[in-house]
Amino acid sequence: MNAPMQQPNYRGYPQQAAYRSPATPRRHGPVPGMPMPQHAPQAMPNQQILSQRHASNPVEAAVRRSRKPTDKNLPDNVEDIVIGDVAQHYKRLREVEKRLDASMIRKRLDIYDSVNKNTKRYRTMRIWISNTVESQPWQQQQQQQDSSNSDGAMGTKLGAGRYRVKIEGRLLDDEADPTVSDESDEEGETENRGEVNLNVTINLIRDETPERFQLSRELAAILDVDKDTRAGIVAGIWEYVKAMGLQENEEKRTIQCDDRLRAIFGCEKMYFPAIPESTATHTATLEPIRLPYTIRVDPEFQKDPKPTVYDIRVAIDDPLRAKLISLTNSPDFPAMLRHVSSLDDQVALAVQALHHSKAKHSFYTAMSKDPANFMKRWINSQKRDLETVLGETPRPGQGERGMEFRRGGEGSAWDTPVARESVRYMLAKPPRAAR
């Protein structure tokens, strides 16, 4: 009989066994056709390995910093054993260093305060406004009279007249003569057509950082200024609240509104963080600076033109602020601090060595005066320290006074009235009854 034909596996999987005992454990193997993923070890770059190797543990760094000596004061009475007046000079130098450090820290804090405040300075800007003309009718007539063409006449072009307005401005120095018109720092020109005199108004828009605003009458009455920035408004209201004692005792962020504040906020109590938003309705954009000017195109004015001069006050940044910013952000300052810190560490190490030398000097000096008693006191001190470290408590009679009770005879601790009285009381006790 022929064996039955087996249908080939569709996916090429191996055929299972015909029979498996239930007691036989199942053996799991890898699925054919699906190789197990093998992840190749990712090679770490050398730079990352070096950075991890050299990265300091913060705990170890803190331990190292805690072990560094920081005391730079000389030991007491070191002047008696030091030759010369070096110790006095060092102490005076330390006092000068303390005063210098305090002054430098105070000055640096003042510099940071000045930079953060961004104070403005007001200076005078002088503006010259003038205009020139060309191709005006009266200019064409003069040219026609001065020159003649081949026809014997030269026509004029109506509506061809033009004018050019020039605006110059410069900041006046405080010590400069205001009558001297030096070369301007900024200038601008505009050109247009026109053959008649024209009255115009030049509007100058302020470009200030931070921006200032025009205050309402109610807000200006509190701050005593008519123009201020957002930060200046909040700071001024805070100073007013502190001066008038309007801050609540329980909730420090809440203020009681008096008549002036009630006219601004319209409520009895005000949450202080909401003041910037509430004061926005009482501020407006600053109006432009208006400079009226008449554009003159007539020949009478153009014979001897004179500019129109205006002096206006403008707010500018403090010229020292840029230098202060460069001073605070200087890369040399951290390097200098690291150098000073290294010098302080060297001084602290030298002072620590001096303390050790002073202790050795005191030890040997005391031992040279009375060696026997000194060694006895030193041994007892070392014994107490050892017992403290080991946590051991001496038994009665084994302490420092144990030797006195071990010695008998005349003059001992047992040949005293206290000892005799103690023995008499002990012998007078009745014997205990046997149980």
Q: Within 13 Å of residue 314, how many CA atoms lie on the same side as its CB? A: 22
Place of tokens 């115009």: 200
Torsional sign, CA 198, 204, 205, 207: positive
CA distances from 233 to 116, 223, 256, 371, 382 (A): 16, 7, 18, 79, 71
* Closest of 181, 161, 164, 163 to residue 172, by C-alpha: 181
pLDDT for 32 equals 46
Three-class DSSP labels, 299-327 = HHHHHCCCCEEEEEEEEEECHHHHHHHHH
Give the whole-angstrom CA distance, residue 236 versus residue 222. 8
pLDDT for 239 equals 92
Give the whole-angstrom CA distance, residue 347 versus residue 339. 13
Task: List the structure tokens of 222.
Answer: 């509190």
SS3 171: strand
* Closest of 314, 313, 330, 334 to residue 322, by C-alpha: 330
CA distances from 356 to 87, 187, 352 (A): 16, 75, 6
pLDDT for 200 equals 92
Cis peptide before 292 (omega within 30 of 0): no
pLDDT for 56 equals 56
DSSP letter string, 216-258: PHHHHHHHS-SEE-HHHHHHHHHHHHHHHT-B-SS-TTEEE--
For the CA atoms of 180, 186, 190, 194, the dihedral, rounded to the nearest 10 degrees, stands at: -10
| CB atoms closer than 10 angstroms to residue 347 | 16
Task: List the structure tokens of 346.
Answer: 């060297």
Place of tokens 């007892």: 380
**Which residues, at least 6 apart from 367, have a Cβ–Cβ distance to it below 8 Å?**
374, 375, 378
- The secondary structure element, H or E, covering residue 165 is strand 162-171
For the CA atoms of 86, 87, 90, 92, the dihedral, rounded to the nearest 10 degrees, stands at: -110
DSSP letter string, 397-435: TSSTTHHHHH--STTSTTSSHHHHHHHHHHHTSPPPPP-
Residue 166 φ then ψ, to 5°:
-120, 130
Torsional sign, CA 301, 302, 303, 307: positive
Task: List the structure tokens of 434.
Answer: 């046997």
pLDDT for 423 equals 86
**Which residues, at least 6 apart from 189, have a Cβ–Cβ distance to it below 8 Å?**
164, 165, 166, 167
Give the whole-angstrom CA distance, residue 134 versus residue 293. 19
**Which residues, at least 6 apart from 333, have a Cβ–Cβ distance to it below 8 Å?**
none
The DSSP call for residue 383 is H
Q: What is the pLDDT along the chain (435 residues), one digit of tens a residue?
A: 444 444 444 444 444 444 454 444 555 444 444 445 454 445 555 666 656 655 556 777 666 666 778 888 888 888 888 888 888 999 999 999 999 999 999 998 988 888 877 778 888 999 999 998 888 788 777 777 776 554 545 555 555 788 899 999 998 876 544 544 454 477 888 888 888 889 999 999 988 888 889 999 999 999 999 999 998 999 999 999 999 999 988 888 899 999 999 999 989 999 999 999 999 999 999 999 999 999 998 888 888 889 999 999 988 877 788 888 888 888 888 899 899 999 999 999 999 999 999 999 999 998 999 999 999 888 988 888 888 888 766 665 555 555 666 677 777 778 888 888 888 888 888 877 655
CA distances from 371 to 357, 363, 364, 375 (A): 20, 11, 9, 6
Give the whole-angstrom CA distance, residue 5 versus residue 7. 7
